[in-house]
Structure 1
Amino acid sequence: MPFIRTDYQQQAYRSEQLKQISEGLMQALQEHFQVPDKDYFQVFHAHEQWQFMYDDHYLDVERSDRLLYIQITLGSERSVEQKKAFYKRAAELVEQRAGVRQQDVFITLLETGLENWSFGNGQAQMIERPSMAARGQQYTPPTAIQTIPDAPVSDVQQVYGELAPDFARYSEEVLFGDLWRNPELSPRERSLLTIAALVAGRHTSQLPYHIELAQQNGLHATELAAAMTHLAFYAGWPAAAAGLLVLKEHTG
Structure 2
Amino acid sequence: KSYTVQLHLLYFLEKKYELGYHHLKAGFARPVIVHRAILGSLERMIAVLTEQCGGKWPFWLSPKQLVLCPVSAYYKDVAEKIAARLRLEGYTVNTDESDQTLAKKVRNAQIQYYNFVGVIGEEEVKAGVIDVRDCEKNTRIGKLTIPQLCKFFESLKPPKSNVEVEIHEHDDSHLKLNEELQEKMFLEGNGYAVGKRDFDEFAKIKDIDPALQNLIRWHKYMTHLTKKDEVPEKAEQVEQKQE
Instruction: Tell me the TM-score normalized by structure 2.
Output: 0.20
Structure possessing the higher relative contact order (Cα contacts under 8 Å, 6 or more residues apart) = 1
Name whichever structure is richer in helix by fraction.
1
Compare CA radii of gyration and give the structure with the larger one. 2
